[in-house]
């Protein structure tokens, strides 16, 4: 054993161990309770210094590892913390001790950044061990028999919170933040590797939520977020992070189901799944051999030029297409896909889904509702200002979390309304009206929309797909909320919705952004594709409806990209912009001559905008989406079909979809051995679309045989018009 | 043959083993008269007869199987979907675009010539 290289310098280990044992230990006198060492407070301070001056300064994890070995957290810190009885709030010494413990716990539970520029060999040596240690800490904290570790930690911060905000010292602010950071760390910790014997159940989200609720931490979070901007100021980011890690990937719809509904739904889901499986089994039996596997059948497929391809196995006898499928399946070669160096296709946090257990669910639901009622507006408007200011306390990931949370809570609010409306007595119309959308108003104002827009543009430009995904979700949810507002029984809500839509659809740049994002799809994970197509779908639908309701809709578009001085000096915020633009309409010609106008208001033409979606890039994104048909539910399938319908039927850009791989895909979805099962709700619509598609295609092929070649390719712009209409565009113009 | 003379193998002719050339699906192959697109242009309109309304699935299967066999002849080793992807990509090159325009122009002339004759 001595030959093994030491992971940690033995001297350091000795130091840490001696400090830990000097801290205190199990008493032999008082029924085996914990008794503090004489210099416990000094020991805590020393340990803290070790962590700070050795680990942090030299960028190592040696001390943290020694502490994990010494069982410091469970053996000492938690004992000290739990020893602080409820009637000893005023006890200064105990409070100091508790603070010392928290000061150690925070760095010990700090999340690891696995692949940063600063990581060294040492990190890779220690992190795997420390991750397990952290999971152990979390388990010990949540399961501690005293059941007051969390509330005692909370109590550490209470004296500082009691001081009015303007009288707080830096130390007070620091303590509040420290406690919040501890909770952030606690909810962030996940089990590093789940095995059969260690399922990580003890530290799952449900258990965490239950413990946090029982020990009043959730209430504390509500207080912090609802008093944001008043009693609290710089703690906004940390508070948001705690909430983010609590909320992320939780399935919202399930939270708002009652137990009865949920069990019924589970039953239905199970039935549906079993039925699907049954169909799958039958489909696979259909293609299977009816004889034993050495029966030996060989079939050849003869072509017109008398060449033959051979296929073996009985299945080949079934029909030409199965034989061809078999022929294809026997080919070993695969097209090299190219390495995904940037990791674009890697799944992210956004692609997960999580269901809470029954008891935690109820607690979580009431937290979510309380947060929406009290904390949503103050916290998010405060954060939005911080983001706009580029405040120092924000890191890159925070903005992503911000948009993710907005999307999540907006959706939660919408679902809450829906469940309330469903539960309310239909005859009694007076009560449900009382709630207005004011609860989520802070993210629907102009400033927030601008922030969102700017971030989306940034992230698209820099190809940061994961943050972009959260922003897209946020945008979709804002649109959906506005849509709900527009049909609200309250007059005010309807008016505001009208206003917001006006603003949303006023800038052409915003509209174009949606198209550009859709076109930017390359190989992002499925979740991204889902969010992207949903955003496009909702956006197009709302814009269409809105432009139908308003005959004279104006938008602001960029005319020339050249810088224009005169206008910028004339200035004008968004509010004043409208009358100004009108004045300029008169001078329009003159200005156009000078080509100085950068922005111009013009009548909005929906069909012109829709035409931007009629490009191969956009169609390809939706094709990639529907390529995942096995995982799509009815709504998602429908979304894709509606888009294709838009392209193919409404706008008659059939050529865009006339491609052999598209035919192959549609055919596979409907006819293939692993296509949509018969019971799939979207099958009927898909079937109808495909039949229409094939009829058009056959007619077109008979009319223009050159399409046989063009079926192989993405169409070239110069010939697309000819293919579609049978004559060249130019000829028509010259006539 | 003479063991004493040639025990070092110096006089034996050195055979240079050539690495096997992998068939590649490129423009040249795609444009080959006998298996490439020219064949498709020649044959497809004649060979494929569709039934139209009411027989959509059969038509689709017919079309797909024709293309699949054509793709199989063109490039044996790849699966149908992969072949289609490769061909699609090749279609972006300048040369292919010119060829494609040429084909369309040809057919355009042919059909417009026909209509003129008819008129």
Cα separation, A17 vs A22, whole angstroms:
9
- Is residue A450 within a helix (H) or strand (E), and if so which, with residue range? helix A446-461
Cβ contact, residue pair B69, A309, below 8 Å: yes
Chain A residues with beta carbon closer than 8 angstroms to that of B61: 320-321, 667, 671
Q: Is A248 helix (H, G, I), strand (E, B) or coil?
A: coil
Size of interface A-B (CB pairs under 8 A): 128
Predicted pLDDT of residue B20: 84
pLDDT for the residue numbered A501: 92
Q: Taking chain A, what is the end-to-end CA distance rounded to the nearest angstrom?
A: 94
> Minimal Cα–Cα distance from A656 to chain B, Å?
14
Lowest mean pLDDT among A54-68, A223-237, A330-344: A330-344
Contact B100 A723 (CB under 8 A): no
Q: What does the block give as tokens for A632?
A: 């799509």
Q: Between A695, A709, A723, which is nearest B56 by CB?
A: A695
Model confidence at A29, in pLDDT bands (50, 70, 90)? Answer: confident
Residue in chain A lying closest to B64 (CA)? A664
Cβ separation of B82 and A701 shorter than 8 Å?
no
Distance CA A481, CA A732 (A): 46
Interval A76-90 mean pLDDT: 87
Three-class SS state of B35: coil
Report pLDDT for A241.
Answer: 96
A331–B61 CB contact, under 8 Å: no
Per-residue pLDDT at A576 exceeds 50: no
Q: Is A601 helix (H, G, I), strand (E, B) or coil?
A: strand
What confidence score (pLDDT) does residue A586 get?
Answer: 47
CB contact (8 A) between residue A328 and residue B68: yes
CB atoms within 10 A of CB A731: 9
pTM: 0.87
Chosen for mutation from B22, B37, B61, B63 (greatest number of chain A CBs closer than 10 Å) is: B63
Out of A333, A666, A708, closest to residue B41 by CB: A708
- Token pair 């299967």 is found at B61
Q: What CA–CA distance (Å, rounded) separates A608 from A113? A: 48
B53, B56, B104 ranked by CB distance to A719: nearest: B104
pLDDT above 90: residue A669? yes
Residue pLDDT, tens place only, B35-91: 899 999 998 988 888 887 888 999 999 999 999 999 999 998 999 999 999 999 999
| pLDDT of A259 over the 90 cut | no
Of residues A578 and A609, which shows the higher confidence score?
Answer: A609
Helix B56-74 to helix A320-329 angle, to the nearest 10 degrees? 40
Positive or negative: CA dihedral A132, A138, A141, A147: negative
Which two three-digit tokens encode residue A705?
A: 């045989």
Structure tokens at A333: 């070669």
CB A187 within 8 A of CB A354: no
Q: Which residue of B has its CA nearest to A696?
A: B52
Mean pLDDT for the stretch of residues A646-660? 90
A577 pLDDT tier (thresholds 50, 70, 90): very low
Nearest to B91 among A320, A331, A714 (CB): A714
Token pair belonging to A532: 């992207």
For A201, A224, A633, B9, the CA distances from A214, given in Å and listed in that order, are 18, 18, 37, 88
Radius of gyration of chain B measured on its C-alpha atoms: 24
pLDDT at A398: 93
List of chain B residues whose C-beta atoms are within 8 Å of the C-beta of residue A698: 50, 52, 59
Length of chain B: 119
More confident: B91 or A678 = B91
Nearest chain B residue to A335 by CA: give it.
Answer: B82
- The DSSP string of A199-234 is --GGGSHHHHHHHHHHTTHHHHHHHHHHTBTTTBST
- A574 pLDDT exceeds 50? no
Partner A, chain B 61-100, Cβ-Cβ below 8 Å: 61, 63-65, 67-69, 72-73, 77-82, 84-88, 91-92, 96-97, 100
Q: Euclidean distance between the first and final Cα of chain B, in Å?
A: 83
Q: How far is A315 from chain B (nearest CA, A)?
A: 17
Give the confidence band of A728 by pLDDT, cuts at 50, 70, 90: low
**Per-residue pLDDT tens digits for A533-559:** 999 999 999 999 998 888 777 888 765
- Facing residues of A602 across strands? A555
The residues near A453 (Cβ < 8 Å, ≥ 6 apart) are A507, A509, A510, A513
Encode pLDDT of B99-109 as tens digits. 998 888 887 77
Beta bridge partners of B109: none
CA dist B49 and A266 (Å) reads 50
Of all residues in chain B, the one with the smallest CA distance to A691 is B56
Minimal C-alpha gap between A711 and chain B (Å): 9
Predicted local distance difference test score (pLDDT) of residue A529: 95
pLDDT interval class at A680 (50, 70, 90): confident
Contact B69 A711 (CB under 8 A): no
pLDDT (tens digit, 9 = 90+) per residue, A464-502?
Answer: 999 999 999 999 999 999 999 998 888 888 999 999 998
Please, which pLDDT band fits residue B5 given cuts at 50, 70 and 90? low
CA-based nearest residue in chain A for residue B35:
A305
Q: Do B80 and A664 touch (CB under 8 A)?
A: yes
A581 Cβ partners below 8 Å, 6+ apart? A556, A599, A600, A601
pLDDT of residue A565: 45
pLDDT confidence tier of residue A122, bands split at 50, 70 and 90: confident
Q: pLDDT, tens digit, for every residue of A394-450?
A: 888 999 999 999 999 999 999 999 988 888 765 555 444 456 788 899 999 999 999
Lowest-confidence pick of A132-146, A274-288, B8-22: B8-22
B52 and A698 within 8 Å at the Cβ level: the answer is: yes
What whole-number distance in Å separates Cα of residue A709 and Cα of residue A728? 18
Determine the Cα–Cα distance for residues A205 and A613; give it in Å rounded to an integer: 41
DSSP run (H or E) holding A665 = helix A660-671
Residues of B whose CB is below 8 A from A710: 100, 104
Whole-number Cα distances in Å, A280 to A187, A298, A324, A632, A655: 41, 27, 21, 16, 34
Task: Point out which residues pair with A312 in neighbouring strands.
Answer: A298
Backbone angles phi, psi at A50, to 5 degrees: -60, -45
pLDDT over 50 at A530, yes or no: yes
Query: CA–CA separation, A63 vs A735, rounded Å?
Result: 85
In angstroms, rounded to a whole number, what is the distance separating the alpha carbons of residues A612 and A607? 9
Does residue B27 sit at the A interface (CB-CB below 8 Å)?
A: no
Mutation choice for B interface testing from A321, A657, A712, A719 by most B CBs within 10 A: A712
How sure is the predictor about A617, in pLDDT bands with cuts at 50, 70 and 90?
Answer: very high
Specify the pairing of strand A34-36 against strand A24-26: antiparallel
A572: pLDDT strictly greater than 80: no
CB nearest to A712's CB, from B61, B64, B88: B88
Phi, psi dihedrals of residue A507, rounded to the nearest 5°: -85, 125
> Which of A144, A69, A146, A149 has its CA nearest to residue A105?
A149
Subunit contact A708:B79, Cβ cutoff 8 A: no
Measure CB to CB from residue A690 to each of B56, B77, B85 and give the nearest one: B56
Cα angle: A675, vertex A677, A682; to 5 degrees: 95
Q: How confident is the model at residue A585 (pLDDT cuts 50, 70, 90)?
A: very low
Q: Which of B60, B83, B89, B102 has the most A C-beta neighbours within 10 Å, making it the best mutation to test the interface with A?
A: B60
Chosen for mutation from B29, B35, B42, B56 (greatest number of chain A CBs closer than 10 Å) is B56
The residues pairing with A299 across neighbouring beta strands, listed in sequence order, are A311
In b/e form, how buried is each residue of A472-505, taking b as 16+ CB within 10 angstroms? bbbbbbbbbbbbbbbebeeeebeebbbebbebbb
Is pLDDT above 80 for A734?
no
Given a cut of 90, whether residue A109 has pLDDT beyond it is yes
Nearest-neighbour CA in chain A from B118: distance (Å): 16
- How far is Cα A187 from Cα A192, in angstroms, rounded to an integer? 14
Q: What is residue A24's three-state secondary structure?
A: strand
Nearest to A320 by CA among B8, B12, B58, B38: B58
Instruction: Choose among A667, A702, A704: nearest Cβ to B60.
Output: A667
Segment holding A310, helix H or strand E: strand A308-312
* Contact criterion met (CB < 8 Å) for B68 and A324: yes
Percent of chain A scoring above 70 in pLDDT? 91
Contacts of A47 (CB under 8 A, 6+ apart): A16, A19, A20, A23, A67, A72, A104
Minimum Cα–Cα distance from A725: chain B residue: B108
Chain-chain contact of B45 with A320 (C-beta, under 8 angstroms): no
Contact A706 B107 (CB under 8 A): yes
Write out chain A residues lying below 8 Å of B67, CB-based: 660, 711
**How confident is the model at residue A2, as a pLDDT?**
52
Test A671 with B57 for CB contact under 8 angstroms. Answer: yes
A626 versus A306: which is more confidently predicted? A626
Classified as helix, coil or strand, A298 is strand
| Burial track A131-164 (b if 16+ CB lie within 10 A, e otherwise) | bebbbbbbbbbbebeeebbbbbbbbbbeebbeee
Alpha-carbon span A528 to A532, nearest angstrom: 6
Average pLDDT over residues A314-322: 81
Q: Using a CB–CB cutoff of 8 Å, tell me whether B111 touches chain A.
A: yes
Tell me whether B47 touches chain A (CB under 8 Å). yes
* Closest among B93, B2, B75 to A331, alpha carbons compared: B75
Whole-angstrom CA distances from A25 to A70, A137, A150, A530 are 12, 18, 22, 55
Q: Supply A12's token pair.
A: 């350091």
- Residue of A667, A709, A718 with shortest CB distance to B64: A667
Q: Are B41 and A307 within 8 A, CB to CB?
A: no
- Rounded to a whole number of angstroms, the distance from the CA of B117 to the nearest CA of chain A is 17
Does residue A328 carry a pLDDT above 60?
yes
Interchain CB contact of B41 with A (< 8 Å): yes
Q: Which is higher by pLDDT, B105 or A18?
A: A18
CA distance B25 to A713: 15
Query: Is the alpha carbon torsion for A639, A644, A647, A649 positive or negative?
Result: negative
On chain A, the residues whose CB falls within 8 A of the CB of B111 are 704
Rounded to the nearest 10 degrees, the angle between the axes of helix A217-226 and helix A358-370 is 20
Q: How confident is the model at residue A652 (pLDDT cuts 50, 70, 90)?
A: confident
Tokens matching residue B74: 């063109």
Query: Is B65's CB within 8 Å of A321's CB?
Result: yes
Chain B residues touching A695 at Cβ < 8 A: 52-53, 56
Q: Which of B41, B61, B67 faces A660 most closely, judged by CB atoms?
A: B67
Q: List A302's β-bridge partners, or say none.
A: A308
Q: Is-contact A365 A255, C-beta < 8 A?
A: yes
DSSP codes of every residue in A468-482 = HHHHHHHHHHHHHHH
């Amino acid at each position: 054993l001595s030959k093994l290289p030491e992971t940690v310098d033995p001297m350091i280990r000795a130091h840490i161990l001696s400090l830990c044992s000097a801290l205190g230990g199990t008493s032999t006198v008082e029924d085996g309770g914990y008794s503090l060492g004489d210099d416990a407070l000094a020991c805590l301070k020393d340990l803290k210094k070790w962590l700070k001056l050795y680990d942090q300064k030299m960028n190592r994890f040696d001390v943290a590892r020694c502490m994990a070995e010494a069982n410091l957290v469970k053996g000492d810190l938690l004992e000290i913390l739990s020893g602080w009885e409820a009637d000893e709030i005023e006890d200064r010494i105990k409070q100091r001790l508790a603070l010392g413990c928290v000061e150690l716990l925070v760095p010990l539970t700090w999340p690891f950044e696995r692949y940063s520029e600063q990581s060294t060999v040492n990190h890779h040596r220690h992190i795997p061990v420390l991750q397990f240690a952290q999971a152990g800490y979390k388990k010990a904290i949540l399961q501690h028999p005293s059941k007051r570790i969390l509330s005692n930690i909370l109590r550490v911060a209470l004296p500082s919170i009691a001081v009015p905000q303007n009288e707080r010292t830096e130390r007070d602010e620091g303590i509040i933040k420290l406690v919040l950071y501890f909770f952030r760390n606690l909810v962030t910790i996940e089990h590093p590797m789940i095995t059969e014997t260690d399922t990580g159940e003890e530290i799952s989200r449900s258990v965490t939520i239950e413990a946090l609720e029982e020990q009043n931490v959730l209430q504390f979070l509500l207080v912090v977020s609802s008093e944001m901007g008043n009693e609290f100021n710089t703690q906004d980011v940390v508070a948001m992070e705690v909430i983010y890690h609590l909320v992320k990937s939780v399935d919202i719809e399930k939270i708002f189901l009652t137990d009865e509904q949920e069990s019924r739904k589970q039953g239905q889901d199970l039935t549906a799944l079993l039925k699907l499986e049954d169909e799958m089994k039958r489909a696979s039996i259909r293609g299977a051999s009816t004889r034993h596997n050495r029966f030996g059948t060989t079939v050849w497929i003869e072509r017109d030029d008398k060449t033959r391809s051979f296929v073996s196995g009985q299945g080949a006898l079934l029909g030409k297409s199965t034989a061809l499928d078999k022929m294809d399946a026997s080919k070993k070669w695969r097209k090299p896909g190219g390495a995904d160096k940037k990791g674009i296709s890697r799944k992210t946090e956004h692609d997960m889904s999580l269901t809470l257990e029954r008891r935690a669910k109820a607690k979580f639901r009431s937290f979510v509702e309380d947060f929406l009622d009290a904390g949503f507006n103050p916290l998010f408007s405060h954060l939005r200002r911080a983001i706009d200011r580029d405040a120092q306390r924000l890191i890159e990931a925070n903005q992503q979390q911000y948009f993710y949370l907005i999307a999540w809570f907006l959706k939660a609010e919408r679902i809450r309304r829906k469940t309330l409306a469903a539960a309310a007595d239909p005859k009694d119309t007076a009560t449900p009206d009382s709630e207005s959308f004011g609860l989520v108003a802070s993210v629907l104002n102009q400033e927030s929309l601008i922030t969102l827009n700017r971030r989306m543009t940034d992230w698209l430009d820099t190809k940061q797909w994961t943050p972009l995904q959260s922003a897209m979700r946020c945008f979709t949810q804002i649109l959906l909320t506005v849509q709900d507002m527009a049909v609200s029984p309250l007059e005010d809500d309807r008016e505001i919705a009208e206003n917001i839509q006006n603003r949303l659809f006023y800038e052409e740049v915003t509209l174009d952004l949606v198209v550009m994002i859709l076109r930017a799809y390359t190989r992002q994970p499925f979740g991204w594709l889902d969010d992207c197509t949903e955003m496009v779908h909702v956006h197009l639908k709302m814009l269409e409806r809105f432009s139908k309701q308003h005959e004279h809709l104006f938008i602001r578009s960029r005319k020339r990209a050249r810088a224009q001085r005169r206008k910028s000096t004339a200035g004008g915020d968004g509010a004043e912009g409208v009358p100004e633009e009108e004045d300029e309409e008169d001078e329009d010609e003159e200005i156009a001559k000078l080509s100085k106008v950068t922005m111009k208001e013009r009548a909005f033409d929906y069909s012109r905008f829709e035409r931007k979606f009629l490009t191969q890039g956009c169609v390809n994104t939706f094709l990639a989406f529907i390529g995942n048909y096995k995982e799509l539910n009815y709504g998602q399938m429908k979304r894709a079909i509606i888009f294709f319908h838009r392209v193919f039927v409404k706008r008659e850009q059939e050529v865009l979809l006339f491609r052999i791989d598209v035919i192959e895909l549609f055919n596979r979805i409907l006819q293939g051995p692993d296509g949509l099962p018969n019971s799939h709700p979207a099958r009927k619509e898909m079937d109808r679309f495909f039949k229409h598609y094939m009829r058009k295609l056959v007619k077109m092929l008979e009319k223009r045989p050159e399409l046989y070649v063009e079926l192989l390719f993405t169409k070239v712009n110069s010939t697309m018009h000819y293919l579609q209409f049978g004559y060249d565009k130019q000829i028509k113009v010259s006539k | 043959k003479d063991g004493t003379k040639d025990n070092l193998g110096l006089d034996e002719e050195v055979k240079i083993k050539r690495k096997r050339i992998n068939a590649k699906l490129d423009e040249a192959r795609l444009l080959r008269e006998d298996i490439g697109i020219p064949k498709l242009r020649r044959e497809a309109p004649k060979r494929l007869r569709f039934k139209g309304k009411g027989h959509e699935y059969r038509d689709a299967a017919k079309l797909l199987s024709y293309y699949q066999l054509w793709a199989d002849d063109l490039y044996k080793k790849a699966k149908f979907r992969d072949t289609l992807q490769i061909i699609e990509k090749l279609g972006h090159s300048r040369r292919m675009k010119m060829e494609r325009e040429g084909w369309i122009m040809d057919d355009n002339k042919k059909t417009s010539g026909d209509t003129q004759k008819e008129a």
